[in-house]
Amino acid sequence: MSRRSGVLEFAVLGLLRESPMHGYELRKRLNTSLGVFRAFSYGTLYPCLKGLVANGWLVEETGGAPDGVPATALTGRRAKIVYRLTAAGKDHFEELLTHSGPDAWEDEHFGVRFAFFGQTSRDVRMRVLEGRRSRLEERLEKMRTSLARTRERLDDYTLELQRHGMESVEREVRWLNELIESERAGRDQRAPGPTERDKNTPSGDADGLPRHRGGSRPDPSE
List residues binding DNA (CB under 7 A).
3-8, 22-25, 38-44, 46-47, 49-50, 76-81, 108
What phi and psi, each to the nearest 5 degrees, are found at residue 220?
A: -65, -40
Cβ at position 41, least distance to a second copy in Å: 16
Alpha helices in 56-196 (DSSP H): 72-75, 87-99, 107-115, 122-150, 156-185
> First CA to last CA across the chain, in angstroms?
49
Asked if residue 92 lies in contact with residue 57, where contact means CB atoms within 8 angstroms, the answer is yes
149-178 residues near a second copy, rule: CB under 8 A: 150, 154-158, 160-168, 171, 175
For residue 85, the 8-state DSSP code is E
Chain-centre distance of CA 96, in angstroms?
Answer: 11
Q: Is 115 in the site for a second copy (CB under 8 A)?
A: yes
CB within 8 Å of 193: residues ≥ 6 apart: 121
Cβ at position 166, least distance to a second copy in Å: 8
Give CA–CA dist 34/37, Å, rounded: 7
Q: Is 209 in the site for a second copy (CB under 8 A)?
A: yes
Q: Which does 151 bind (CB under 5 to 8 A by kind): DNA, a second copy, none?
A: none
Q: Which does 17 bind (CB under 5 to 8 A by kind): a second copy, DNA, none?
A: none
58-62 sheet: strands from edge to edge = 21-22, 81-85, 58-62
Q: Is 117 in the site for a second copy (CB under 8 A)?
A: yes
Nearest CB to a second copy, comparing residues 103 and 207: 207
Q: Is 37 in the site for a second copy (CB under 8 A)?
A: yes
Which residues of the chain form contacts with a second copy (CB under 8 A)?
Answer: 32-34, 36-37, 111, 114-118, 143, 146, 150, 154-158, 160-168, 171, 175, 179, 202-203, 205, 207, 209-210, 212, 215-216, 219, 222
